[in-house]
Amino acid sequence: MVYRRLFDLPAFRPRGSFQELDNMRRQFDRLANLLSAAPERSAGAGVFPQLNVTEDVNKFYLRAELPGVRSDALDIQATGKTISIAGERKISEEDTNARYHRREREAGKFSRVMALPSDIDADRIEAKLENGILTVMVPKAETAKPRQIRIN
Amino acid sequence: MVANDTKELKIKEKQEVSTPAEQTRPGLVFTPLVDIFETEKALVLLADMPGVRPEDLSIDLRDDTLTLTGDVQPFEGADEKDLLIEYEVGKYHRQFALSEIINQEKIDAQIQNGVLCLTLPKVEKAAPRKITVQAV
């Protein structure tokens, strides 16, 4: 017998009744999120630091804002197609006589992994840390660069 | 506050601020995070302003109001395409009202690794001195 399903797309029939309820709950959760909270601007992984990834024909560029992090406190590794950036941000402790009026900056460890969409040439990766902005330039592998195809 | 050095850093979304005067050039303006603390001799302000070079920073102190403004260069090269953008880039602007008496001649500003360290020394109070009484 054909029956209309109110919530789900026509798909596999759920095995047992609990899965239907699960699906319903998920749909309602999504609806509730849409209606209540303002949509978050960043759709990132929710992990510090936030990255901006751009590309041109030859390279990928990863940028992160890391004010107050020294280059010796950073550890950047490349494995396969992923780049991992880890480190620690330290805030110098002032002497105990200091009275804080405001304390907004935070210190601590961070670690972030970013998978790039094409093959990379790991031997020629360059990174620089200037004015608190980390830029990692990852050259693409030769096979991953676009190749012009001529038509005879 | 718990002082725990090994905790993981969490993301703080950059706060946009609406400046009292409209900007002549379009762009976002953010509030830099600051730490302000006071020692015996000075008020020290540390502000996170990544991407601001020394020549892009302007510090203004008048009428007991301290204004910090930092310009940031756009980071993308002309040929780059965006793949994932998680944070926006924009100028930094913040104002503070100062209550301590600051010695304006001796304000010291340094910016390193994107962190501004502003030292505002307090006016030195007169050192205690003995007054000798002369017999007339």
The tens digit of pLDDT for each residue in B87-127 reads 888 888 898 887 667 777 788 888 888 899 988 888 876 55
**Predicted confidence (pLDDT) at residue A101 exceeds the cutoff of 50:** yes
Cα distances (angstroms) measured from residue B14 to each of B49, B50, B109? 11, 12, 23
Angstrom distances, CA of residue B50 to CA of A101, A133, B47, B127: 22, 6, 9, 41
Domain locations along chain A: 8-39, 51-90+109-144
Q: From residue A36, how far is each of A32, A45, B16, B106 by CA, in Å?
A: 6, 21, 22, 51
pLDDT on residue A76? 92
pLDDT, position B80: 80
Residue A101, token pair as written in the block: 């009026």
Contact A6, A23 (CB under 8 A): no
Q: Specify the pLDDT at position B127.
A: 53
Candidates A52, A98, A107; nearest CB to B38: A98
What per-residue confidence (pLDDT) applies to A30? 76
Q: Read off the pLDDT of residues A3-40 as tens digits, 9 standing for 90 and up.
A: 555 555 555 555 566 777 777 888 887 777 666 654 44
Options 3.90.1300.10, 2.60.40.790, 3.90.550.10, 2.30.40.10; which CATH number does B30-75+87-121 get? 2.60.40.790
pLDDT band per the 50, 70, 90 thresholds, residue A107:
confident
Check residues A67 and B20 and name the one with the higher pLDDT.
Answer: A67
pLDDT at A143: 83
* Shortest Cα distance, chain A CAs vs residue B130, angstroms: 28
- Class of the CATH domain delimited by A51-90+109-144: mainly beta
- The confidence band for A134, taking pLDDT boundaries of 50, 70 and 90, is very high
The mean pLDDT of A105-110, rounded to a whole number, is: 86
Q: Give the pLDDT score at A42.
A: 42
For residue A127, the model assigns a pLDDT of 92
Looking at the DSSP bridge assignments, the partners of residue A79 are A82
Question: Of the candidates B36, B38, B50, which has its C-beta nearest A66's C-beta?
Answer: B50
- Does residue B3 surpass a pLDDT of 70? no
Torsion of CA A127, B57, B77, B19, to 10 degrees: 120
Residue A77, token pair as written in the block: 């590794």
In chain B, where are the structural domains located?
30-75+87-121
Interface-testing mutation among B36, B48, B111, with chain A (most A C-beta atoms within 10 A): B48
Q: How far is CA B59 from CA A51, A110, B65, B110, B121, in A?
A: 29, 31, 10, 11, 15
- The per-residue pLDDT for range B13-44, each reduced to its tens digit, is 777 776 656 666 677 888 889 988 888 888 88
pLDDT recorded at residue A10? 54
Interface check for B75 against chain A (CB to CB < 8 A): the answer is yes
Interface of B with A in 11-70 (CB under 8 A): 11-13, 33-40, 44, 46, 48-53
